[in-house]
A and B are shown apart, each in its own frame.
Chain A
Amino acid sequence: MRGDQRMVSEAKVIELSDIVVSFGQKQHAVTAVDHVSLSVDKGSIYGIVGFSGAGKSTLVRVINLLQRPDSGSVVVDGVDLLGLSTQKLRKERKNIGMIFQHFNLMESRTVFDNVAFALKGSGLNKQERRERIEHLLDLVGILDKQKSYPDQLSGGQKQRVAIARALANEPNILLCDEATSALDPKTTLAVLKLLKEINQRLGITIVLITHEMQVVKEICDTVAVMDAGSIIERGGVAEIFSDPKHELTADFIRTATHVEQAEQTIVEYAKGRKVYELKFSGERASEPVIVELYKRFGLTTNVMYGNVEYLQNTPLGTMLVTFDNDDHLDSAKEFLNGEGISIQQVNTGERRA
């Protein structure tokens, strides 16, 4: 097995260029993926987030050509997949593991045999096969269930089996299509932790599709936001979370960071005072901004809510505050922006009593 710690190199392991996928007949054609280009660094965890119907599932299926694009090019591990014969493509697919929202295990086979299915034609003898399968089941923490059938397992356990199956042929890439969407929050975290481990221990590049920004926040290095067949924003997770350019991205982030819920309660509680949201990232998070505001502008800041999260080891803070007066607010805003802190008014301050 691939046990060595791989260096994260700059090489691109997946390169999609100008992909177009449309469904249906000419007049009624729906463009699911509209001229999308995407490149994924080797060893990274790349998240693609979007609402259902945004085209993300179609896009991820282009990577292993389960979905053939109408145009564009697909290069995986340096191989142009669109130029391959059926047989060669099948061989390349063994290098790209995939897991699904509904696990897609074979109900008629045991856990062991589900993983063994992937190893047909691998050239391993029976003993080697058994060792590999047991090793994989051990890796995903489900070795004791090897003789069970899928319908005897919980959702989280099924996804673990699916992960073992996807890793059977020692792929360099793992595609996850809404892999945690059918799981409860606790199980989701456990499966994400396992994926992160696999990424770090085996050096496998992961491309992950989700509609939950929470999932991206948890494990991704890079994120692309998809809407109506296009990628509207992409970048490092910390960067996107601290400074989303697009409204949809900001929406996704708000649901993921729980600021939204806090906001409602606080605006209610602020009783007509203006509430501002301060956001800061990186080293700024630890600087004594509030003290500076008082010293420079005589502004007393009431912190109503504060939260710091660490995304890929970058602290990302959110504060909801009110000020005791508005006198120097404009210069205060300027100062904050200069410090890399964004400030935004949340309510009008003229709420009905």
Chain B
Amino acid sequence: MIEQLLPNASQMTDDFVQATIETIVMVSVAMVIAGVIGLLLGIVLLVTGEYGLRPNRVVYWTLDQIVNIGRSIPFIILLAIIMPFTRLLVGTSIGTTAVTVPIVVGTIPFFARQVQNALLEVDPGVVEAAKAMGTSDTGIVFRVYLREGLVSLIRAASFTIINLIGLTAMAGVVGGGGLGSTALQDGYQRGRTDVTFTAMVLILIIVFITQVIGNIAVRIASHGRS
């Protein structure tokens, strides 16, 4: 039955397992690196913004522009433009490791903006109350913003991861490995529709699982409040 419906894909179980692992590794590595850098940038944007704890026009304006530009470059072009940098950094411009570099670079500004917006949702009144209690700026960032904004941050993170999965699929174009490569190179380019279809279903499953985990995390973080 399965062999009839998926004549090619059913012969490639090992390839799919391999590709799925590659995708998960790429997403995980990219999310950890982009997550840390994006979180830091998001916090700096928040703190230096007009109504931030330490407004600083120069820093804010510069970062804001970098983030805007970073988010405006279509990923497929970023992939090509960044190649020399990738080669410099990881010694190669093809394969899973190489493609992680543009994915990280493409995700940082995206996540930074998400973090900034998530933290801006924190009630300014609570921040004011913390100031009135003599809390330091660092204390306000960690004990107020990150804590009160946790639910929004988790939502931002799962949104970013799902976006990331999309980027890894696109990376298939340049031989990046993962399910995107399988769908494009083993499926589409060879006219094997069932392979493309199977890769797509696997990607959807990963997206779905990410969403479920995100929702559970939100529920835990909000003590059943939302």
Q: Could you tell me which A residues sit within 8 Å of B by CB distance?
A: 64, 66, 89-94, 96-98, 100, 102, 104-109, 117-118, 120, 149, 151, 162, 165, 168-169, 175
Bound-state CA distance A107–B125 (Å) is 12
> Is there contact, CB below 8 Å, between B132 and A108?
no
> Is there contact, CB below 8 Å, between B133 and A149?
no
A109: chain B residues within 8 A (beta carbon):
147
B125: chain A residues within 8 A (beta carbon):
100, 102, 104
> Is there contact, CB below 8 Å, between A104 and B126?
yes
B148: chain A residues within 8 A (beta carbon):
106-108
6 example contacts (A-B, Cβ-Cβ < 8 A) are as follows A93-B131, A94-B133, A104-B125, A107-B123, A107-B225, A108-B147
Judge whether B143 is part of the interface by a CB distance below 8 angstroms: yes
What residue in chain B is nearest A149 (Cβ atoms)? Answer: B223
A169-B132 in contact given A100-B125, A108-B150, A149-B223 (Cβ < 8 Å): no
B139: chain A residues within 8 A (beta carbon):
120
Count: A-B pairs, CB below 8 Å: 65
> Is there contact, CB below 8 Å, between B147 and A90?
no
Instruction: Given contacts A108-B222, A120-B143, list 16 more A-B pairs with CB under 8 A.
Output: A66-B128, A90-B134, A92-B134, A93-B132, A94-B134, A98-B129, A104-B123, A104-B129, A106-B126, A108-B150, A108-B223, A117-B135, A118-B133, A120-B139, A149-B225, A168-B133
> Is there contact, CB below 8 Å, between B143 and A105?
no
A117-B143 in contact given A94-B134, A102-B125, A165-B133 (Cβ < 8 Å): yes
What residue in chain B is nearest A105 (Cβ atoms)? Answer: B126
Bound-state CA distance A93–B129 (Å) is 11
- Interface residues of B toward A: which range? 20 to 34
Judge whether B154 is part of the interface by a CB distance below 8 angstroms: no
> Is there contact, CB below 8 Å, between B135 and A90?
yes
What residue in chain B is nearest A113 (Cβ atoms)? Answer: B147
Judge whether B162 is part of the interface by a CB distance below 8 angstroms: no
Bound-state CA distance A100–B129 (Å) is 8
Q: Name the residue in B143, B144, B148, B223 with the highest tally of chain A Cβ atoms < 10 Å from its Cβ.
A: B223
A104-B144 in contact given A91-B134, A149-B223 (Cβ < 8 Å): no
Judge whether B130 is part of the interface by a CB distance below 8 angstroms: yes
B189: chain A residues within 8 A (beta carbon):
none
In the complex, what's the smallest C-beta–C-beta distance from A10 to chain B, in angstroms? 28
A106-B147 in contact given A100-B128, A149-B223 (Cβ < 8 Å): yes
Q: Name the residue in A64, A98, A104, A108 with the highest tally of chain B Cβ atoms < 10 Å from its Cβ.
A: A108
What residue in chain B is nearest A152 (Cβ atoms)? Answer: B225
Bound-state CA distance A97–B134 (Å) is 10
In the complex, what's the smallest C-beta–C-beta distance from A22 to chain B, in angstroms? 17
Bound-state CA distance A185–B132 (Å) is 27
For chain B, residues 99 to 149, give those with C-beta under 8 angstroms from any C-beta of chain A: 123, 125-126, 128-136, 139, 143-144, 147-148
A151: chain B residues within 8 A (beta carbon):
225
A90: chain B residues within 8 A (beta carbon):
134-136
A175: chain B residues within 8 A (beta carbon):
132
A93: chain B residues within 8 A (beta carbon):
131-134
In the complex, what's the smallest C-beta–C-beta distance from A101 to chain B, in angstroms? 8
B129: chain A residues within 8 A (beta carbon):
98, 100, 104-105, 162, 165
B128: chain A residues within 8 A (beta carbon):
66, 100, 104
What residue in chain A is nearest B150 (Cβ atoms)? Answer: A108
B126: chain A residues within 8 A (beta carbon):
104-106
For chain B, residues 207 to 223, give those with C-beta under 8 angstroms from any C-beta of chain A: 221-223
> Is there contact, CB below 8 Å, between B133 and A117?
yes
> Is there contact, CB below 8 Å, between A64 and B132?
yes
What residue in chain A is nearest B137 (Cβ atoms)? Answer: A86
Bound-state CA distance A51–B217 (Å) is 45
> Is there contact, CB below 8 Å, between A169 and B147?
no
In the complex, what's the smallest C-beta–C-beta distance from A211 to chain B, in angstroms? 18
A97: chain B residues within 8 A (beta carbon):
132
B132: chain A residues within 8 A (beta carbon):
64, 66, 93, 96-98, 175
B147: chain A residues within 8 A (beta carbon):
106, 108-109
What residue in chain A is nearest B129 (Cβ atoms)? Answer: A104
What residue in chain B is nearest A94 (Cβ atoms)? Answer: B134
In the complex, what's the smallest C-beta–C-beta distance from A49 to chain B, in angstroms? 22
A96: chain B residues within 8 A (beta carbon):
132
What residue in chain A is nearest B126 (Cβ atoms)? Answer: A104
In the complex, what's the smallest C-beta–C-beta distance from A166 to chain B, in angstroms? 8
Bound-state CA distance A93–B147 (Å) is 22
What residue in chain A is nearest B133 (Cβ atoms)? Answer: A118
A91: chain B residues within 8 A (beta carbon):
134
Bound-state CA distance A94–B133 (Å) is 5
Considering the complex of A and B, which 10 residue pairs feature the smallest CB-CB distances, nearest first? A93-B134, A104-B129, A104-B125, A90-B134, A98-B132, A94-B134, A118-B133, A104-B126, A108-B147, A108-B148
Bound-state CA distance A168–B148 (Å) is 21
Bound-state CA distance A165–B126 (Å) is 12
In the complex, what's the smallest C-beta–C-beta distance from B62 to chain A, in angstroms? 22
Bound-state CA distance A169–B132 (Å) is 12
In the complex, what's the smallest C-beta–C-beta distance from B154 to chain A, in angstroms? 12
A169-B225 in contact given A107-B148, A108-B148, A120-B143 (Cβ < 8 Å): no
